[in-house]
Structure 1
Amino acid sequence: MNAPDHHFPPALPLPTEMLDALRAAFAERCSTALAVREQHGRDESVFDVPPPQAVVFAESEAEVARVVALCAQHRVPVIPYGAGSSLEGHLLAVRGGISLDVSRMNGILRIDAEDLTVTVQPGVTRKALNEALKHEGLFFPIDPGADASLGGMAATRASGTNAVRYGTMRENVLGLRFVSANGEVVRTGSRAKKSSAGYDLTRLLIGSEGTLGVITELTVRVHPLPEAVSAAVCFFPSIDAAVRTAMQVIQIGVPIARCELLDANAIRAVNAHDKLGLTEAPMLLMEFHGSEAGVAEQAAAVQELAADHGGEAFEWATTPEARTRLWTARHHAYLSGLQMRPGCRAVTTDTCVPISRLAENINASVAEVEAAGLPYFIVGHVGDGNFHMAYLLDPAQPEELATAERLSAQMVARAIALEGTCTGEHGIGLHKQGFLRDETGDEAVAVMRAVKAAMDPLGILNPGKIFVN
């Protein structure tokens, strides 16, 4: 299945009455300036879509409700906007409408250190939250790389480098508040560790990509800062050797906190960007959390496994400064990779498969892109079976985009055939709509559509996303 061929017809003009009401209520926080609209009409995807017709900056839940209610009254699309770091076209105004920016709703409302929970507004970013938490000896583990907002991370069911040990947003959001399609505020969940009360509306909203409601508040789990943290890098003769090491680490039960793969192309890119001087070979970047003795035991077990697969130059980074330098380079991998081909655009695809099938998936994907001759790089959260392939293409060469989409489709089809998923953490957005049907089947998609129709009967909440129209 190829990604859908998207055509975006011109949006209908905003009703004058509605625009006047927004300007009266929000003054300069309602903008129709082209520069502001363009900023809110672009993410990291390859889609070129006209920007939203207006941008409203909300500063409270009541203001979010007011905007959504106005949009419902006039049947105008509304697209939630956080940090703008999505990869699959989630925030693009494919049918025009209002971009509802909640980045100014960035308050940390409550820290309950004894219960290991925190309540925040949706515009709080993960870095800001962790800066506030470190004084309590706590941290929030979900780390998708970008300094994303927690509202956006919940809406896309984000995960990232720590997911192998701490889980994803699905496991770490206890409850939330959201504004429904008719402008009403709905509360879900609680601060309790578990509940069997009714439908799990919290999980329904997580991963809904702004199509069922606008998240206005979240209560999340946090974790004690570990007594000891140590990071290590190890280089391998092949991607296959690195991946098989990661697979065995998980299969024997080592509680590793992070296990990241960078291929030789990604290493070359981060070396140039961050002046690191790492060996340009497939590398695992690992991190261990626990007691001093526990960390040492985990590391020794991993080092022995790595040696069995030809891993060498096992290097430790035990100081915070050395660890930060390595992880900063890992987080820069995407932007560093783009600089390998100046002026390029990237088609990025992520899949996730059962850990036992990971090597098969990556090896076949590498063989396909090498045969096609398209520049690329790979990074991956290989500890949980998830990896990302970035195809670098010249935007002036449409045949390169066609090649990248063909390779992406082959990679996704293989992941689904291996009993995996078309996306481990990017989400569906615009890019993977056809693949959702391939993965779940018509019956499941019909149920999802029924939920959407029940919760958003006018279809105003981030329309055109998730489902093939």
Structure 2
Amino acid sequence: MGLEQFITGARNEQGIKTVVDILTQRFGDRVSTNNSIREQHSHTTTYIPSQLPDAVVFPESAEEVKTVVQICAEHKVPVIPFGAGSSLEGHVNAPFGGISIDVMKMNRVIEINAEDLDCTVEPGITREELNTALRDTGLFFPIDPGANASIGGMTATRASGTNAVRYGTMRENVLAVTAVTARGEEIRTARRARKSSAGYDLTRLFVGSEGTLGVLTSVTLQLQGIPQAVSGGVCPFPSVEAACNAVIMTIQMGIPVARIELLDALQMKACNAYSKLDYPESPALFLEFHGTEAGVAEQAETFAEIAAECGGGEFLWTTNPEKRTQLWKARHSAYWAALQLRPGAKGISTDVCVPISRLAECVTETQEDIAQHKLFAPIVGHAGDGNFHVLVLLDETDPKEIAGAEEFVARLNERALRYDGTCTGEHGIGQGKASYLPAELGGSVEMMQQIKRALDPNNIMNPGKLFPFIG
């Protein structure tokens, strides 16, 4: 899969120059054309080539976002929304140049409605900042993609993560958004009511739109009560298949597991070395349970029985907060741990998601593919959702290794679709997976393109993402 279809295209040179001049006059030092700042705003954590915006603007309010978009719309200049920059599929690249709108100065909590278990925030606040602000209310926001991502970026990419098996994804936890459209108008998609039959569900349309329909200016989120008790632990298994079978049985028995994460033997080796742990270097499940003290103990004991039935070893669990923090810090550091397995290597991080009943087959077949093609690729995943990640470690200066990795990713995506899954459970499409979207959704992609054309006729909103260039 090449990226030339996203790299080529007409640049509006005169329009870009005019817009940069106008924005500089309007916003002063909150507009940067510095090369290092521009590079930071095209940064991608994968091998996908960086494509720099022509300028970066740092608005501090929804009104300022409207001003920026209106200026860009008038001169038909691309707009690329930017949050924490942690996306993996080239979402923040600027293939046709344009203006990067960095919303990280828009990081305020607008309101917290503790009685209704919801809050409204600006898009630049990160999930960790939000949970710090919520701490005294006894509430928390459960979506945890690992990276300290911005809420706007998590909404735009329909993020999920380790807690999704219990609390759902951004799709289930966003009640409403406000967004500035391609015409420079700010719209509100819904009220705070937990259900509504009023018109099209525009909230769901913007959740996962990857910045191609508008720039988010606020997000209203559903919150959860901090659980009375939490238990967590690690259980080793003789094979990935055995671990997956334990996951399937756990979910099918209705155990309300909060987290159930799969790590293969190679990933466990990496985590042990990086996080200074001493777990067996075999496939393992990391688990967490939320509830009452009696409830989390009962759930842990029930899982231990399931694990034993599936051939697993001893389930070592604890309610000690320090030990649990150490465990999940190691899990969240899995990416950086894996990179240490091959010093100097770059990682292609890719994910797929399949129905839970097909998880064991899909992961096992993927392991066989990795072995057959002699790849260095640990596996880790949010197994309770049927979602798993593969990090292919490669020398990015070697065209043969890049080609081999791309061929593997293609086979992985095709495999997931064959099992009636998706080419991406949470990373999104961006640039890197755009060629797989038609295979997954067929004719509905044309309907998506029609929506894009209707709402953004000049294709200024994050162009080159989701679809090839739309003229």
- TM-score over 0.5 for the alignment? yes
- Superposed CA deviations along residues 398-449 of structure 1, whole A, max 9, x for unmatched, are 11111111111111111111111111000000111121100110x2011000
Query: Could you tell me which residue of structure 1 aligns to residue 67 of structure 2?
Result: 66
- Between the aligned partners of 2:300 and 2:370, the Cα distance in structure 1 is 34
Partner of 1:227: 228
Q: Deviations for 1:165-209, whole angstroms, at most 9, x for unmatched residues?
A: 100000000011000001100011111111110000000000000
2:384 alignment counterpart: 383
Distance in 2 separating the partners of 1:310 and 1:339? 30
Give the aligned partner of residue 204 of structure 2: 203
What corresponds to 1:154 in structure 2?
155
Alpha-carbon distance, 1:7 to partner: 5.6
Offset of residue 12 of structure 1: 4.3
In 2, the alpha carbon distance for the partners of 1:347 and 1:23 equals 37
Q: Could you tell me which residue of structure 1 aligns to residue 7 of structure 2?
A: 8
2-side partners of 1:275 and 1:414: how far apart? 35
Q: Which residue of 2 aligns with 1:250?
A: 251
- Do 2:5 and 2:468's aligned partners in 1 also have CA atoms closer than 8 Å? no
* Aligned amino acid, residue 446 of structure 2: A
Deviation of the 1:5 alpha carbon: 5.0
Q: How well do the aligned residues superpose, as a CA RMSD in angstroms?
A: 1.2
Q: Distance in 2 between matches of 1:388 and 1:61?
A: 35
Q: Aligned with 1:284: secondary structure? A: strand
In the TM superposition, what whole-angstrom CA distance separates every residue of 1:77-97 from its partner, at most 9, and x where no partner exists?
010000000001111111111
- Deviates most, 331-340 or 84-93: 331-340
Q: Deviations over 1:317-351 (max 9, x none)?
A: 31111111111111111111112112211112211
1:447 partnered with 2:460: no
Match of 1:23 in 2: 24
Q: 430-439 vs 4-13, which deviates more?
A: 4-13
Q: Which amino acid aligns with 1:120?
A: V
Within 2, Cα distance between the matches of 1:368 and 1:468? 29
Deviations 1:83-119 (A, max 9, x none): 0000011111111111110011000111111000011
Give the conservation status (yes or no) of the 8 Å contact 1:239–1:263.
yes
CA 40–311 in structure 1, closer or farther in 2 if over 3 Å, else same = same
The percent of aligned pairs where both chains have the same amino acid is 54
Quote how far apart the aligned CAs of 1:374 are. 1.3
How many residue pairs align between the two structures?
467
Distance 1:194 1:414, change over 3 A: same
Structure 1 stretch displaced more, 18-27 or 174-183: 18-27
Tell me, yes or no, if the aligned pair for 2:95 and 2:463 is still in contact at 8 Å: yes
Q: Aligned AA for 1:171? A: E
Alpha carbons 1:8, 1:49 under 8 Å: kept = no
Moved more, 401-410 or 151-160: 401-410
- Indicate the residue corresponding to 1:178 in structure 2: 179
Taking structure 2 as the reference length, the TM-score comes to 0.97
TM-superposed CA distance for 1:389, in Å, is: 0.7
Partner of 2:295: 294
For residues 6-55 of structure 1, the C-alpha deviation after alignment (integer angstroms, 9 at most, x for no partner) is 46248443543322210111111100000100000112121113311100
Q: Distance in 2 between matches of 1:382 and 1:298?
A: 17
Structure 1 portions without partners, runs of 5+: none
Question: Mean Cα displacement is larger for which, 160-169 or 314-323?
Answer: 314-323
* Aligned counterpart, 1:108: 109
8 Å CA contact 1:3–1:435 kept in 2: the answer is no
Counterpart residue number, 1:306: 307
The 1:15–1:152 alpha-carbon spacing in structure 2 relative to 1, beyond 3 Å, is closer
Give the secondary structure class of the aligned counterpart of 2:317: strand
Amino acid at match of 2:228: E
Kindly provide the amino acid, as one letter, of the partner of residue 448 in structure 1. M
Amino acid at match of 1:465: K
Mapped partners of 2:18, 2:93: distance in 1: 24
| 2:462 paired residue number | 462
Structure 1: how far apart are the matches of 2:39 and 2:119? 34
Tell me if structure 2 keeps the 8 A contact 1:229–1:295: yes
